[in-house]
Structure 1
């Protein structure tokens, strides 16, 4: 049987080598992972707190220690998926030089659409489940898209400034990529990734325009 001790780090009682703060963070992460899987399988609107807790192997009381309501968990799940998408596109371009703009663009788009195809649950959260829930969810969705678009733009053009015109360009490019993804996913990702990338590239060219 694991022994409980008092932590000297301010993280609460230690049990089984973990402080109470560490255990809480682990439970929160389990809930987020379960939410991504459950929302991806049956949709946010058809998912209850009990469904997520069941998938995470936790009781509802642990849900409410981390999240005020289902919307807060949806936002956390979306933010987690957004981080994965950002890491994916950045890694895809990391081995290419700044002057290889076409190659960087193609690599990033290939990484993005491959991720959506290979992780359908995450794709559903990132692409379809954030629309029309509430003002708070809409705001989180737009923040995530703006962050993704900014990373995409800076990876393609490290000297790009955040001007009003560039923000509009980034918004247009990202919503174009998102619309393509939604339609592609709705049709079962039937088209090859290479073809989707070729279709999406024109939406991003404005980000690397010499006139931008």
Structure 2
């Protein structure tokens, strides 16, 4: 790619060029996670700050990223990937459950993944807001993936006879928007509530819009 510096090839200190590059990238990502998610934030951070925190040079930074926005965008995708893996791992464990327990465990798998590390919460819901049209598109693309996931879950619930048959895409889109909005306000301190209260509020909102009630749960043995 024009303008991109090519790192040196070959082995050095017993490690290949690819291994050294992966290590540099990991250190830059860790530095960005700390500075954007726990430190001054994306807008108050400079490339030199990231390089200092990573113990690397600006030349090495530009071998990996075009600018700080690229670093923030990759961290945003990483946080979403962590949450997505958590939800996918929970899926096989909840298929036999009734709708309330199933949706509860799936949403809690997501919520735990994005709130266990406060830096992840801040990057996912605060730091990426309003940075650029390019990052806005990336956010919307990831939100669309969560909407699609919720729609697939709704279709499965319809097939089980658990919820009324209709198109739930607007519901899913509204819910994903509510998650992003409330988590943002909670993360910046505008909402005086515990994390558990925020999660429970969102979960009850989802169950209500899907018209899932306790009466629909299977009876115990």
TM-score (norm 2): 0.75
Count of residues paired in the alignment: 196
Give the 3 Å change call, closer, same or farther, for CA 84–188 of structure 1 in structure 2: farther
CA distance in 2, matches of 1:80, 1:72: 12
Residues 110, 191 of structure 1: alpha-carbon distance in 2 compared, 3 angstrom cutoff: farther
Contact 1:82 1:148 in 2 (8 A): no
| 1:184 corresponds to | 186
1:195 corresponds to: 197
1:15 and 2:12 correspond? yes
- Given that residues 36 and 77 in structure 1 are in contact (C-alpha distance below 8 angstroms), is that contact kept between their aligned partners in structure 2? yes
Give the conservation status (yes or no) of the 8 Å contact 2:79–2:114. no
Which residue does the alignment assign to 1:57? 55
Can you list the C-alpha shifts for 1:66-122, whole angstroms capped at 9, x where unaligned? Answer: 111111111111111111111123334441125532212111222333334321111
Aligned to 2:31: 34
Q: 1:56 to 1:101 in 2, by over 3 A?
A: farther
In 1, are the aligned partners of 2:126 and 2:188 still within 8 Å (CA)? Answer: no
Partners of 1:40 and 1:125 within 8 A in 2: yes
After superposition, the CA RMSD in angstroms is 2.8
CA–CA distance in structure 2, aligned partners of residues 92 and 51 of structure 1: 38
Give the drift of 1:167: 4.2
2:54 matches 1:46: no
Aligned counterparts of 2:16 and 2:150: Cα–Cα separation in 1 = 38
In structure 1, what is the Cα distance between the partners aligned to 2:150 and 2:83?
11
SS in 2 for 1:68: coil
Structure 1 CA distance for aligned equivalents of residues 126 and 74 of structure 2? 15
Deviation at 1:206, TM superposition (A): 7.7
Give me the whole-angstrom Cα distance separating, in 2, the residues matched to 1:56 and 1:150: 37
In the TM superposition, what is the alpha-carbon distance from 1:155 to its structure 2 partner?
4.8
TM-score by length of structure 1 reads 0.78
Structure 1 pair 50/90, CA: closer, same or farther in 2 (3 Å)? same
**1:80 corresponds to:** 78
Among 124, 146, 149, the alignment partner of 1:148 is 146
Pair 1:103 & 2:101 matched: yes
Structure 1 counterpart of 2:119, from 118, 121, 136 = 121
Per-residue CA distance 1:14-39 (angstroms, 9 max, x = gap): 22332212211221122122211110
Structure 1 regions of 5+ residues with no counterpart? 1-10
